[in-house]
A and B are shown apart, each in its own frame.
Chain A
Amino acid sequence: MDVEIQINNSAAANARFVTWAPAPCRIRITNPSGAQGQGSPPMRISARTTANSGDVVFRSGTSGSFSSSLNLKVPVNGNWVTFFVAGKFGKPSTNAGDVRIEARHGNGNAVVGSTPCMVRIRKNANGLTPGERDRFIAAFAQLNNQGLGRFADFRDMHTSVSSPQAHGAPGFLPWHRAYLLDLERELQAIDPSVSMHYWRFDQASPNIFKREFLGESDNLGTVFFSATNPLQFWITDGVQGINRRPFFPTTSAPPGLRTEAQTIALGAAYPAFRTMEGNPHGSAHVSFGGSISSIPTAARDPLFFLLHCNVDRLWAKWQKQNNRFNPATTASFDANPPGGNAVGHNLPDTMWPWNGVTTPPRPPTAPGGTMAPSPIVTAPGLSPRVRDSLDYQGNVNSASALGFGYDDVPFS
C-alpha cells in the first residue's frame, strides 16, 4: 500500500511548513494493494523527529485537543481524508524538513507514506544556530542584491514621505506587521526555510552584534563583517555598508527601555498598549547612532527588521495575554480616538503601499506592489486592511492566519 500526504493541502515543496496554528492536511491511498476489500483501512499518523528537530501534533478536525498521533480511516478509492497538523509548542525546527509526518497501516510498523515538514517559527535571533543565522543573512543579502534587488522596495516603503501611514497612530502595529510579513515572504521565496527573527532589545544579545551576523561596529559607527558574511556586500541608496553606533555595550541590553513585562503591563486595552511606540520602540531605535535612529534611514539597516519583529512579538504576546485577536472586540484596537483616525489607521482601511493608492493623503508612489502571496495561507490577501493584521494565528477565524508564529507565543 502507498499513501500520499499533503501539508496545507498542497503537493508543493514550499507548502510543507507549519507554525503553532493548525494547518490543514490531507491523506489518500494512491496504491491500495494489500488493502483491497477493507473499504477504509485504519491509518496511524505520527511524526518522526530527532533530538534537535522540530515536532508536530495532530487532530482530526477544526477543534479539540492535539495529540502526538492520530488514527484515521482512509478509503481505498483514493478520496482525500482531511486532518490538521500544528507545530508542537516549544519544539520549532532548525532546518527544512527536519520533521517527517509518517503514515502506517493499522498497527503495523511499516511506513506506507511520509512527507517532510518544517515547524517554521520566528525566533530570538541571539539564539539561532549557525545554520539558521547563515541562511537568514544569505537570503537578506540576495534580496538586496547589492542595492539592485527587491529589498529596495522595502527601503522605499519606510521613508519620511510614507511615515504617517505607519507611525504615530493606531495603525502603527498593524502596518508594521504587514510590512514584516511581506518581507518575510520575499525572503522565503529565496529560501523557504528562513523566517524573520527578532532582536529582544530588553535582553543582552551579543551574538547579533558579531561579525558573523549583523556586524560589529567601530567607534565611528562603521559596521564590519567577517569575510564569509554576505552582508559585506550590503548597499542601500548607492552607499556601501551599514552605519550603526551603539550607545551601550552590545554584551548587554540598551538602558532605559521598558522590559517585556512592563510593556505588556501598559494596559489591557489597545490605546494604552500602543503607547509602546515611544518606549520601548522609539527608545530602542535611538539606543544607536546611525541609520536605524531616524525614520527616513532606519530601513537601511537589517537590524531594523529584527527590532520591529520584537515590537510585533510584544504585540502578539499582549494579544495572547488579553485575548485581543478579534477586530470586533473594542479593546483590540483604538477605533475611535478623540478626533478620529487618519486614513490608513482605521480597521476597515486598506494599507499603503499594498493598496496601490497614490492620491492624497496617501504618498505619491506605492513601491513594491501588492503583498507577496504565501504558499501556505491565503490571508491577508494582496491588499491587506488594518483589521487583517490582528488575527494573525487564525484564533477567531482560521482563514485569517498569516502563516507565522513566535517561539514564545503559543497558539490560543
Chain B
Amino acid sequence: MTTKRKSAKKTTAAKKKSPAKRSPRAAFAVATNEKKTTAERAKAFVEAPLAAIESDESLQATLAVLRDRSQPIKVRLAALQSLQAASFSVILFEPHREDYLATLREIADDPDPELRQRVLGILMREKDGYAQKQLLDGLQNPDKALVPPEKALQLLSYDVHADAYPVARAIVKEPPNPDAKREALRLLAADASSAPVFEKLMRDKDEDRDIRQISAAALQAVKPKRFQEQAREVLLDKKEHDDIQATALTALTQFGDEKAVAKDEELMKRVDELGKGKSAKVKKPAKQFLSRYGSEK
C-alpha cells in the first residue's frame, strides 16, 4: 500500500513539472529568471521558442541574455536556439529580424568558440557580408581567425563567392590540416578549373579515401565524361581500393552515360568479375551496375 502511495505522489509531481502543462509565457519567465538553475533556464528557452518573439520586450530580454557574457554559456546557447526556432515563423519573426541579425554580428567574436561558430553559421546562411568578410580575413590571416580554417571553409560554402575560390585552391595545395583540405575540395565542387586537381586526387592511391571520394564526386559533377574515363580505369585496376571502386560503380550506375558504358565489353566483363568477387563492398554496387547495363538487366 505504501509503495502505491509513493508512486502516485511521484506521478503527480512529474505532471506538475511537465513542460507540456506550462504555458509558453511561464516557460519564458523561467528562462529569463537568473535565480533559476542553468539547466532549468536552458530547458525553458528551448521549450517555447515563440514566447521569445511574443513582444518587443520579450525579444529584447532574449537578446540581452544572448549578448551578456556573464550569463552561463548553456543559457546563451539555448536563447540562440530559441530565436533560431522562432525565425522559422517568418511572418511573426520579420519585425525582429534586423535586431536579431545585428546582435549576432555584435557577438560574432564572442570568447566562447561554440557560440561564435553557431552565430557565424546563422549569419552565413543569411548570406551576411560581414560574416563572410570575417571568415575570408581569418583564412588569409590565421591570427585573426574566429574559427578554424575547415569551419571557415564550410561556412563560406553557404554563399560561394568568387573571393572564396582562390583561398580554397591555395588550401588544397598547402592544407593546414586534412579536414581543411576536404572542406576546400567541397567548396570547389562547381569550379571547372579545379577538374585537373580532382582527377589527380581521385586517382592517387596514397591519398585519404574520403579525399578521393570527394574528388571523384566533384569530377563527376564538373567533367562527367572525364570522370567516366577515370572510373573505368579505377574499375579495371585490380589493385585499387574497394571503397573507390564502389564509388565509381555507384556513380556510373546512377549517372553514367548508358550508350558509352553498355558497349564497353572490357568494363562489363570486369564488373561481372567484381560482382562475383569476395568484396562485399564492391559486390552490391557491381550487381546494381549490371542490373542497369549488363547481364542482369
B→A interface (CB under 8 Å):
19-20, 43, 46-50, 81, 84-94, 117-118, 121-122, 125-127, 150-151, 154, 157-158, 160, 179, 182-183, 185-187, 189-190, 210, 213-214, 217-218, 220-221, 242-244, 246-247, 249-251, 253-255, 281, 284-285
Contact string against B for A residues 165-186, beta-carbon threshold 8 Å, 1 for contact and 0 otherwise: 0111100000000000000000
Tell me whether B20 and A265 are in contact (CB under 8 A).
Answer: yes
Partner of A227, one of B87, B254, B281: B281
Q: Can you report 23 A-B residue pairs in the complex whose CB atoms are below 8 A from each other? A: A146-B220, A146-B255, A164-B94, A220-B151, A227-B250, A227-B281, A228-B250, A228-B284, A230-B250, A232-B217, A232-B247, A233-B251, A239-B158, A239-B190, A240-B189, A241-B189, A279-B49, A282-B89, A293-B84, A294-B125, A295-B88, A296-B125, A342-B91
Contact A282/B86 with A238-B160, A291-B125 known, Cβ cut-off 8 Å: yes
CB within 8 Å of B: which A271-286 residues: 275, 277-279, 281-283, 285-286
Contact (Cβ within 8 A) A294 B122: yes
**A222 partner, pick from B87, B182, B251, beta carbons under 8 A:** B182
Give 10 A-B pairs besides A147-B190, A232-B250 with Cβ atoms closer than 8 angstroms.
Answer: A222-B179, A227-B242, A227-B244, A233-B254, A239-B189, A241-B214, A243-B154, A265-B20, A277-B89, A285-B88
Q: Which residue of A lies closest to B249 (CB)?
A: A228
B217 and A240 within 8 A (CB): yes
Contact at B90–A163, with CB atoms within 8 Å?
yes
Bound: A342/B43 CA distance, A? 33
The B-contacting residues of A in range 254-289, CB under 8 angstroms, are: 255-256, 258-259, 262, 265, 275, 277-279, 281-283, 285-286, 289
Whether the pair B91, A227 counts as a contact (CB closer than 8 A) is no
Q: How many residues of A contact B (CB 8 A)?
A: 57
Interface centre among B81, B88, B220, B255 (most CB of A within 10 A): B88
Q: Is the CB of B250 within 8 A of A235?
A: no
Query: For A255, what are the chain B residues with a Cβ–Cβ distance below 8 Å?
Result: 43, 46
A277 touches B126 (CB 8 A): no
Stretch at the interface among A3-11, A137-145, A379-387, A397-405: A137-145
CB-CB nearest in chain B for A134? B288
Chain A's closest residue to B222 (CB) is: A146
Whether the pair B186, A240 counts as a contact (CB closer than 8 A) is: yes
Give A246 Cβ to nearest chain B Cβ, in Å.
Answer: 13
Chain B neighbourhood of A166, CB < 8 A: 90
Q: B154–A221 contact, CB under 8 A? A: yes
Contact B126 A168 (CB under 8 A): no
Residues of A within 8 A of B121 (CB): 289-290, 293
Identity of the chain B residue whose Cβ is nearest the Cβ of A224 in the assembled complex: B210
Most buried by A among B185, B186, B250: B250
* Given the contacts A243-B157, A296-B127, A233 and B255 also touching, CB distance less than 8 Å: yes
Is A297 at the interface (CB under 8 A from chain B)?
A: yes
List the A side residues contacting B151 at CB < 8 Å.
220
One digit per residue, 1 when the CB lies within 8 angstroms of any chain B CB and 0 when it does not, for chain A 126-138 equals 0000000000001
Query: With A220-B150, A241-B214, A296-B127 as given contacts, are A141 and B50 in contact (CB-CB < 8 Å)?
Result: no
User: How long is the Cα–Cα vector from A257 to B220 in the complex, in angstroms?
Assistant: 40
A229 interface hit (Cβ, 8 Å): yes
Hey, which chain B residues are within 8 Å of A408, CB to CB? none
Contacts of B220 in A (CB 8 A): 146, 233
B91 proximity list for chain A (CB < 8 A): 164, 167-169, 342
Cβ of A49 within 8 Å of any chain B Cβ, yes or no, is no
Chain A residue nearest in CB terms to B46: A256
Closest to A256 in B: B46
Contact B221 A147 (CB under 8 A): yes
Q: Report the bound CA distance from A241 to B150 in whole Å.
A: 14
- Given A281-B88, A283-B49, A297–B158 Cβ distance below 8 Å? yes
CA distance A243 to B122 in the complex (A): 13
**Bound-complex Cα distance A247 to B85 (A):** 14
Task: Report how far A291 CA is from B159 CA in the complex, Å.
Answer: 12
